[in-house]
Structures are given as C-alpha cells and as structure tokens.
Amino acid sequence: MVAKNFLLLLCFIALVNVESSPDEAVMIALRDSLKLSGNPNWSGSDPCKWSMFIKCDASNRVTAIQIGDRGISGKLPPDLGKLTSLTKFEVMRNRLTGPIPSLAGLKSLVTVYANDNDFTSVPEDFFSGLSSLQHVSLDNNPFDSWVIPPSLENATSLVDFSAVNCNLSGKIPDYLFEGKDFSSLTTLKLSYNSLVGEFPMNFSDSRVQVLMLNGQKGREKLHGSISFLQKMTSLTNVTLQGNSFSGPLPDFSGLVSLKSFNVRENQLSGLVPSSLFELQSLSDVALGNNLLQGPTPNFTAPDIKPDLNGLNSFCLDTPGTSCDPRVNTLLSIVEAFGYPVNFAEKWKGNDPCSGWVGITCTGTDITVINFKNLGLNGTISPRFADFASLRVINLSQNNLNGTIPQELAKLSNLKTLDVSKNRLCGEVPRFNTTIVNTTGNFEDCPNGNAGKKASSNAGKIVGSVIGILLALLLIGVAIFSLVKKKMQYHKMHPQQQSSDQDAFKITIENLCTGGSESGFSGLRPLEWTRRLIIALDVARGVEYLHTLAHQSFIHRDLKPSNILLGDDMHAKVADFGLVRLAPEGTQSIETKIAGTFGYLAPEYAVTGRVTTKVDVYSFGVILMELLTGRKALDGTRSEEEVHLATWFRRMFINKGSFPKAIDEAMEVNEETLRSINIVAELANQCSSREPRDRPDMNHVVNVLVSLVVQWKPTERSSDSEDIYGIDYDTPLPQLILDSCFFGDNTLTSIPSRPSELESTFKSGQGR
C-alpha cells in the first residue's frame, strides 16, 4: 500500500512539473499551427522528445528550433517570445505565412533565420532586448512595406544582418549607429529593397567586411557620396550597383583587403583614383554605367577582372592614356565643386572646345567659362588661372563659399569676373582691368572678413545698381543722338554716297541675297563660311545678353536689320530699344507685344509673355535666312512660302526637297553641305514651337564654334574687342551710350493684321 501511494506521488509530481512548463504549451501551439511534411515525429506532449530539430537544455527548456528547409507551411503562434531560453530560431526556406511573432526580450537568442518564406510583417519591437543576437536573415519575404525598426539599436552584438528583397523602405537611420558599439558587425546586406536617402556617415568607422546595398527599387534610391567607404578599412566586398550614388570615388589606399568592388549603374563622377586601380588585393571591379571622367583606368592587380562595360565619360578609350591638358585642368576646376553630375553628363571626349557645356573657345583656346546658375557647391579653384586666354568667368548664382583665389588676378586677358549671388568671404584680389561683380556675397562672413578689396585694387567692382542702371539707360537713351553718333562708324563702302541707313546699316539680309532685293547690286553673295562666322558672332552677342552680362537681358527684336557688319565682316547685335531684364530661372514676364513679324516666337505673339527663349526663336529664323537667302516674311511668294519658318520646317523634314531650299547664290560642295545640314537642324531646334524644346544660346554657340573652327577663320584685327563684339576697354557708361539704336520704319502699335506684310513694329509704351 505504501509503495502504491509512493508511485502515485511520483506521478503527481511529474504531472505538476510538466503542466507548469511554459515551453510545452508554446511548443504544442507551434506544432498545431503548422502543417508538417513527412514524419517529423512531433508526437507526445514533451517537445524535448520530438525530433532532432528541437533542442532543450538540462532543465527541459527549449533552446533551439531548427526546422529550416522542411517544406512546412502554416503560421507561427504569437507566444514564441515566451521561450526565454531560446538561442536559435531557424525556420528558413519553408512556406510559412502571416506575421513573424515578436521575440522581444529573449536575451539568449543568438540566431534568427526566417528567410525565404511568405511572412507578411515584422513587429516594431522585434529586436528589443536581443542583446545577444548575432545572426539575422530576413531575405526574400513579401513583407508589407516596413522600415528598419528603432529596436534594432538594442542588438549591439550583431555579426551579420541580412534583409535582402523584403520590401524594406525609408532611410537607414543615423541613430542606429550613433553612440552604439556595433564593433562586431561584419556583414550588412540590404539589397533589392526600396531604401532611399544617404548612407549614414557615422557608419564609416565600422568593421564591416561585406557591404551589399545594390538594386534599390523606385526612383529615389540610395544617393549621396560614398566617401564613407574611405575609413572602412576592413572591407573585402562592396556592392552598391543600381543606386544613385554621386560624387567622386574616395581614397582606397587604406582598403588593403578589398577584393570585390561593384558600383555599376550609379551617377559617380570624377577621376578613378590611382589608389583603386593600383590596389593589388582586387580581383573583381565593376565601374560601368556611371559618369566617371578623366583617363580610362589601367588596373594593375595580377588576377583582376575589370568590368568597364557601359557608359562613362572617360576622355579616351585606351586604359592609362592621359587626357588633353585642357581636360585635366577643367576636371581640376570642377573637383572643387565635387564633380557635379551636370558636367559629367555633358563633357564627353577629349576636346573641351567641341561643345562642352559652359565652355567657349576661340580656336583651341578657352576664352569663356560660364557656370552661371548651375547649383554648384564648393569653392573656386585657383586652376582657373591655368587658362591664360580667359576673358570671361561667370560663376554667379551658385552656392560657392570660400574666397576668390589670388591667382585669378594674374589672368591678363580677363575682362569680366562675375561671382555674384554666392556665399563668398575674404579679401577680393587686386585686378587691373577686370570688371568684378561680387554682389550678394559676404553677408554671412565673420567680422573683418567681408569682401575687403586688396590694397590698390584697380578692379571695377560692379554691383546690382549698375546692372539696373544699364537696363534703364538702354531703354531711355535718345535714338536721334545715337543715330548721329553711329554715322561715324561701320561704313562698309565709304565711297558710296547714300542715305544714313544705307551708309552703315548694311545687314545680313542685304548681303545674303547678293543685293538683288536690297538695292546693293554691287555686293557679292556671301560664301557659306562667312555666313557661318556671322551666325556665330550674332549667337555670341545674344549669349552675352542672356548669360554673361552682369544682368540677364532679352533683346525682343532680333532680326537682320538689327545686326551690323563691320569692315572685317564681323557682326554685332544692335538696337536695344526693346530690351527687357530677364526673369530668374525659367519664369516668364508679361509685356506689351513689340517686335517684328516673322521673328516673333509663337508664345510671345499669343500671350505677350517672354523669356530668353523668344530670342532663341528669332535667331533660328535668322539662321534660316542665312541658309536660304529668303526673308522671314515675303509677300511676293506663293501663300505656302510666305512664312519662312513654316516653309523651312516643311522642306527640312522632306530630305529630298531640302537641297532646293539652300540659297542658289552659294557654292555648295560635300563638305559645306554637311555643315549646312547641321545648321539647318539647329535652326529647326531654335524655332521649335514650344520654348522648352529650344536650346540655350550657349549650346547654339558651342555647335557653331565646332563648325567654324574647321575653316580656322582669320583673327580679329583688334585685340581690344572680345568675342562678343564688346570693347572692354571702354568705360561702362560709354559702353551703354555706344549701343546701337535705330529708328527704322516702325509702327507705334501692332496692326490687327500685317499691312502688305509690313515687317517691323514697335511699342514705345509697352516696355
């Protein structure tokens, strides 16, 4: 009887112990919620006696759930967080659905592998209290969009963290690594998600060896600098492919263990540093489809497999071949701006005089650098001084800081330096004959460092007041006195006695037609090369008005009769009677319509609103006149040929008919025909109906320069005149008064319709 009672007592004690174990209830709930494939032998109530995939400690507490790759489906129960002795939770490569339950507070948990399932979410507190967590893989789950939870900052023992292709979004938060010790982290994989923003710079001191951020989805992606890599000296593998990282590649001299480096399909610019292509540990490197500049790198590691396929902006294709010295200097200049993307996108090849944005050349000499309003940051490089032929430097309306380099004062040919509307400080160097515009700087400078001139500074510091005065004087100067003044200049044929206008107002329109319509029957038709040079002169004049003057202006009445030809057959833009200050950016201003029929841009004629693009349209019509020898409006022709712009576009589209449109007075050979076709395409672009489809004048200049250089036209006879037809040695007030105004046959208002195709009209009150 005693023995029987003793046995009953033992059974009761055992029963009590089993029932009081929290792990049993949780594990039975887990078993019941899953659909197990095969025969995993999960029978009975004691989970510690289930299969080898469940492990327990000496106290019968569950320490490991390792059911990965078993073909299991179903959902996980919400109470897994009660398994307080759990160290390994491995359910990867199954068909599990629903949310991953919170494992918060499991201080012993070391491993979580939940990758390659169909889980739908991760709780925000998932990582709370997981101070021992080292290995995490959440890859390839169709989670609802989620962000890296703040609770991750508790997991300071992490060794590898992988959340690849699991709909992770938002930014990588700075606070995760700020003030926290993640010194054990060696692998970070966040590829194929929707992460955006910049990578945290305070991560640069980490000991990560493998960093994979490639293939972010969506438009924004990860962006910004990759300079954080420079201090990550433990790196062995870096994959940043398919993002929007920009700026230069960092210094790799400290990354002596780097084996694989993939930054394809970003927006990286600047030179490939020698510290990368001379790195002997490299075996794989991929740089294609970026905007990298300078010479093509020549990698020297013995077993390297460089992948340079795809777009870049290297100056030459042959690895290790040096660039043109002018290219090297320009790249040094933009290095101080952080190698902006807009330069890297448009500066192609090894010749900066072949249409590079912001660069204007005379022959092979760079004479104008115009970087106005390009959103530039950084400082002004002293390397500008390497271009001794520079006449104009325009860096206005950017966000530049620092000082104006003293070296710029050594540029003896420099006539204009415009650094207005930046954040410059310090002393202004001493210039002798250069007009310097520093308006809109020095506001945030420390005391005593606000734009002082150097002693004996002979430079002319021109502010916005003079800019406004320029506009007012251009509009208000009396026409009569200027006509009288100009009678002394630009007499093409002084031996020929004629009216005042005939004496000096010989224009492109007169010359292109060989005098047949103008009354100048003694003039010989202009050959194509001379017409091309005239077009370039006019384009440069308009470019100066739009972007290189101290203020931006709109001419509003660009036409052949407002273009003067000097004795050397070089052209100058004249008649500024309708000039207006241009609005900022792409905005337009409303004016009373004034100008000349045939040259009016459609949007101006309809709405009265103008931007600089109305001048571009007019210039396009002038190009058409140069090409065809016809007038913009010609009432003597058939109805379909009256309006030159419309007729020209129709002829140009029909390639078979276009040669018939070329002026018969010109001698056209195969070489000139190629040039004519390029100019015809340019004329079409300039006269596009939509303003946004028209190029800026600096692009027009670059196209024409590349064509003119082929014939190497003779140099100008006077060194005092620059490429804009402006005498910089003339004082500014006199320069304004010398502007050419003419009172030609204009009307005081716009007629309701052209009377006998009267081409010119003017509204003196509609300014």
CA distance 228 to 174: 13
**Phi-psi group of 756: left, alpha or beta (phi > 0 → left; psi -120 to 50 → alpha; rest → beta):** left
Q: Give the residue carrying structure tokens 């006199």.
A: 734
CA distance 560 to 235: 65
Q: Give the residue carrying structure tokens 């093409």.
A: 492
Residues 6 or more apart whose CB falls under 8 angstroms from that of 673 comprise 659
Q: Where are the beta strands (DSSP E) in 303-446?
A: 305-307, 313-314, 359-362, 365-370, 377-378, 392-394, 399-400, 416-418, 426-428, 435-437
Q: Is 557 a catalytic residue?
A: yes
542, two tokens: 């308009």
CA distance 611 to 599: 14
CB atoms within 10 A of CB 557: 25
For residue 595, the cross-strand partners are 761
CA distance 718 to 251: 49
CA distance 540 to 533: 11
Q: Give the residue carrying structure tokens 């309306």.
A: 397
CA distance 749 to 268: 55
Phi/psi at 482 (nearest 5 deg)? -70, -40
CA distance 690 to 709: 31
**Phi-psi group of 610: left, alpha or beta (phi > 0 → left; psi -120 to 50 → alpha; rest → beta):** beta
Residues 6 or more apart whose CB falls under 8 angstroms from that of 422 comprise 395, 396, 397, 398, 399, 400, 401, 440, 441
Catalytic residue from among 139, 386, 418, 557: 557
Residues 6 or more apart whose CB falls under 8 angstroms from that of 312 comprise 287, 288, 289, 290, 291, 292, 293
Q: Do 746 and 762 contact (CB within 8 A), yes or no?
A: yes
- Catalytic sites, residue numbers: 557
